[in-house]
Chains A and B, each alone.
Chain A
Amino acid sequence: MSQLELKRNQVLEARFVADEDVLKHISDNGGVKVRKDRAQLALNVKRFVKKLENISDDDDEAQEIMEEQNYVAVLGACAEASELAQTPGRNVTFDSSEYPEKPACTPQSSKKYSASNKPQLKSKKNEFVSTTPYRLRKRLTAPSLRSDSESDYSASCSEEEEEDKDHKETCDVILGQKTPSKTRAAPPSKKTPAKKLKEEMTSNLVEEYFEAHSSSKVLTSDRTLQKLQKRKLDQQTLLVLLNKAPPAFTAELKELNQQHESLFSKWMLQLHLGFSIVLYGLGSKRDLLEKFRTSLLRDSVHLVVNGFFPSITVRSILNSITEEVLDHVGTFRSPMDQLDLIMKRFKEDSSLELYLLIHNLDSKMLRGDKSQQILAQLASLPNIHLIASIDHINAPLMWDQAKQSLYNWLWYETTTFSPYLEETSYENSLLVQQSGSLALSSLTHVLHSLTPNARGIFRLLAQYHLENKDNPSYPGLSFQDFYQRCREAFLVNSDLTLRAQLTEFRDHKLIRTKRGTDGVEYLLIPVDNGTLTDFLEKEDEDM
């Protein structure tokens, strides 16, 4: 049924609704809502259901959904249970220790609480939906669904109502505030005044925080990217793909940039007057600074520092200054000595001038206290002009009063909205496959150059490793055990051969040894389990 409807309305509508609006609607309609609850819940379920294919309208199917999303079911059931029990301030997060037994328990509990009539059961499901992280975005309303709703409300308003309704539920679950149970016999008069709700919102923000941090377990879905059949993209393909994506708002972005560029000469003026300039705001400021550099600094000595470069250090910055700007030959005992020399040279020679451009002053490598201190002292020199950019939300925390006065910042907001391409390209990003692919290829390469016996030894260790992957206190395989296993598999004939083999592994960083508390040597593979599984699968194919 719903499938058919879907076919008819292929363009879906996704809308973001402001929290304020939701609140208003809740408080406006709180009283009447309970009555029309059931019909609307049925609607919501349909909306949810249509996302999954091959769904007809009976209970078995619904059960399937529940199984798929059993974690949600747990949450929903528990939420309901607590609602019934009328416990104040119910908790949204549950221990995942309850987890395994849930598929069995959920249908039971739902049977227990609800009569067997369909809308009731569905109403529960609807709640489950609302607790998924992406619940809000899934609120895709197909206009024609309205027609088969049993609602006695006019068509024009019902759609909005649905949305608000949905919101209310999500709010309820998220905030964990104690509202009258909606699905069950709650008196219609028990409606929350708008004012009170608003107050609760603010105080709930605090409660929300502590709630989210109260238990160490957080309930989220178990889905992984691997199950999604999503390969990790490497940097190259990522760039290619991104180039294909259509650019948005080019005219507006250009206008923004032009606004910023008109400030260039003002920056120069202020740099010359002894201020340092720091740029903040969303978007990469690299292009902007590059443009500043090429248009105004062409004829002066300047140093560009890519703070986002993963192995940048203050030392390398100081070295660039002493070696390339000051043409100093020689080494220094400490960065302090180096800084002293630079300061002395710049103080002596007032004609010496240096512009220092630092992209991402707040990068991981430069945000340390000592680095910032040194950079601040550099910036405090009257003939070193510093212009830098920061991106991290907490970047200003790097500086205490003393450093700030050394830097003598003038803040400029330069929101550019341009993507942080260069800045994130070095970063070992979450979804971009970098070290993983390298490790796998290096694993196979190294092992292909070894004898079959050596490969067997490594396989043994890898298998043992994977067997114990769920054991958090797995210390590694002790050398004696390993030797025993290898002997049993006819891979080595003496203690010494195994040790020689292990040395080779260790040199290629394939294994690591750790000494346990009892002095026994334990062997570990410092590769993540996914890669290791892939490797073993590949090996199996080869064999």
Chain B
Amino acid sequence: MSQPGIPASGGAPTGLQAQNGAASASGSLYSNGPVQNALVSSQISVNQGYNSQLPGSYPHLIPAKTLNPVSGQSNYGGSQTVSPLSNYQGPGQTLHRPPVASNPATPSLHSAPVPRMPLPTSHNPAATPMPSGSFLPGANVHPPLNWQYNYSSTGSQTNHCPPASSQPTISGNTNLTSHQYVSSGDPSFQNNFIKSGIASNTNNGSMVVHNSYDEIEGGGFLATPQHTNKNPTMSRSVGYSYPSLPPGYQNTGPPSTTGMPPSSLNYSSGPQGFIQTPLGANHLAASMSGLSLHPEGLRVINLLQERNMLPATPLRPPVPNLHEDIQKLNCNPDLFRCTLTSIPQTQALLNKAKLPLGLLLHPFKDLVQLPVVTSSTIVRCRSCRTYINPFVSFLDPRRWKCNLCYRVNDVPEEFMYNPLTRVYGEPHRRPEVQNATIEFMAPSEYMLRPPQPPVYLFVFDVSHNAVETGYLNSVCQSLLDNLDLLPGNTRTKIGFITFDSTIHFYSLQEGLSQPQMLIVSDIEDVFIPMPENLLVNLNESKELVQDLLKTLPQMFTKTLETQSALGPALQAAFKLMSPTGGRMSVFQTQLPTLGVGALRPREEPNQRSSAKEIHLTPSTDFYKKLALDCSGQQVAVDLFLLSGQYSDLASLGCISRYSAGSVYYYPSYHHQQNPVQVQKLQKELQRYLTRKIGFEAVMRIRCTKGLSIHTFHGNFFVRSTDLLSLPNVNPDAGYAVQMSVEESLTDTQLVSFQSALLYTSSKGERRIRVHTLCLPVVSTLNEVFLGADVQAISGLLANMAVDRSVTASLSDARDALVNAVIDSLSAYRSSVLSNQQPGLMVPFSLRLFPLFVLALLKQKSFQTGTNARLDERIFAMCQVKNQPLVYLMLTTHPSLYRVDNLSDEGALNINDRTIPQPPILQLSVEKLSRDGAFLMDAGSVLMLWVGKNCGQNFLSQVLGVQNYALIPQIMTDLPELDTPESARIIAFISWLREQRPFFPILYVIRDESPMKANFLQNMVEDRTESALSYYEFLLHIQQQVNK
């Protein structure tokens, strides 16, 4: 059984949260430390210290309670239901001190019958003391002893605490935002603070410092511990407990408890008995409650009848069916989400559901607010090395139980002090335990070598073909503009290499009057002509670098060399960078033809449209091997391919894929003939050069015992079963992980996943970014379906389909996608639906599943029947693997809005700007009309299609043209006109742009524009020559499902 912890420490109201789900009780304070209830407002917090839970036994207890609340609490810890006093000792176990906090506060017991206690009495001894600064004298005492000790004392001691104890600290606690820092100001802290603190500030978040424990020492803690059972069961209980509830009362189902008025809370602490309801029951109750929140979610939908299931607002990820206090702490779904928000208990159940289980991560996303902790010891589980997180349980303030491997660990002394509140003894309120996403400043144990400086090496193709495209101008100009914005510090190094059939190095030694070019023509055995000065300190040689960038575009204008020795150039670049590691940006415009890594054209245009016999696999392993070497030396290679011809991206892309780089592709780039690509390159380069970057990174994903990682998707090298080697990590990269259930999870109600990304920032700090996701475990198929996250499933399926295309064939991959829908819906039909109705019945959660899969089939990666170029297809596949889910879904199923009649109805107001929110339309031509204008948001591009009969008003007020014929062929900007219509649409577009880190280009398309085909291609619900319409697809699925 679980026990509730009793936490006492001042302030620890939260403590209450019980974790045990099972135990209805709110009891376990400690366990969840992190969770705070809303209730927990400051005062409450104080009181609650105890959360007891009462089990059925409660009644008995009552009397006891009245006497002294305190005692009551203690009992609980031990045994559940138990009678009051006896309990204490019995359990003996774990409990240590009585919770401090609990007492003080409100006397009033919840239950009417019970007399109120006078305030004073209530407390536990320990508890009281806590007011902010003071520690209890006794505090240090060891738990068990104390415990009893307290107990006896309780009566007397209670008095001490003034209810007031609520302390100041509390207020701060709830959020760890930067302001907390304030505390730093405090003299006491300062020392520490300074050193660590500063650094952290730079980032964003708030940081927390703790160190100064010394002063504190001696303070006791308050909390009482609960002990815990070591059962696994307990642990799970965490999930469900309803911390918020007033403790005492919870015997009943948790839900009921919630209702209680806060006042009751106070005392509840007194008695707790727990009852532990069997977990199952709780669980059920919990799930029901979850469901009840979304009655819609329970619907079964006949897709053939209700065709318009696309919501008018962007689809939100489903909320895991967890108690709200836990859910509140859960990781943001943009960063970390799971395809099934209810994890099936066994692999058999998962297989039955036929849905993929996996995680989608965006671990290095730019965050506005990120708590950063600087601490000399990072608290981790001793056996599985999990970082402490909001979902661990505190058995007592001195011990916590890992939520991944269930080992019980000691809480280090240092961790007992909460620097935010400056209170000792409440480890559960520290930021590490209050934030599912947190960043640690890593001490030197986390370094294999001193943090590397930021190193950027640019490798340019300067063959005739490259010069023809004119890309050097744009790239050099962008570099010049952003040279000061490159992330880095005074140690930043930069270097350049150009190549055609030979390799050119540039010496940028300080003191030279101009850059010196060194040509190496031996491409068979590449060597570095001089060991130094090829990679130079950016600050010291900035003028030379600028000189070089200005002259570079002109240097090769007369070149006649058409060959390209990319392989040798990459080898040279690798040699140059291998001592430090860093980022290599390679610009290539044609198929490499010389030296190692030379490739032959193998695209056969006539076979483009068939799904067979296309070359998706690399033709050589040179690039893969080089990428692995790069990965070993912490070098990442980003490939910019600007080519009109087939360039075998399938082979070239390996260089980025296995070195954790990214691929950018600009088909038919030409500085004059293709201005759209030029603008795209500029915008993307701007983002590329200035975005955050992490060097020499590794990412490890841990999950609760019983689950295991099956396969990773993304750009990286898998170094061991759960460790990814990422020489560079950037904020625009996403990863996917397939999971399997290895052992049955029947003993658990919650599972957690933790990703830890260890990297060196561009400022030379070693940091660890940790995300933790907690999800409930379910035992029935219906619950698995109810918790399905259709976007995540589609994203994971897309990743799996890319692998399948490469290892088997494209048609296999397409079949697999369709079968995924058919199998899961058949499973739903046969196992969940009791009465077999005609039609295509799907659970509400999967109502968009067929649509998204159809969209995937029509996506560039997997489509057939069109003349997609092989490189474009492969690039689309690279994007599937490397993009975060949000953008992947937008490229797959773009959002369509009608924008010629925007109104302020339902508009958002952000910072005094009014942003209209037009409804999202289905992607079908039937939704278009010639007299309107429609905006399609496909992630990296925005397309504004203007119908032929579009109102004059829109043309003149928004586009600034007199009539339709005057709309320019290529228009990528809307004029800022002084009209409300123009203001609205511009506000809307800039709002869409602000939501993503890159800059999507807007294309205005009129009927005869070449881009119109792209626009119409995204109309996934319509029939095309080779693909089914949505309705046909549904019929096909229905036929298969009902077979």
Q: Do A and B come from one complex?
A: no
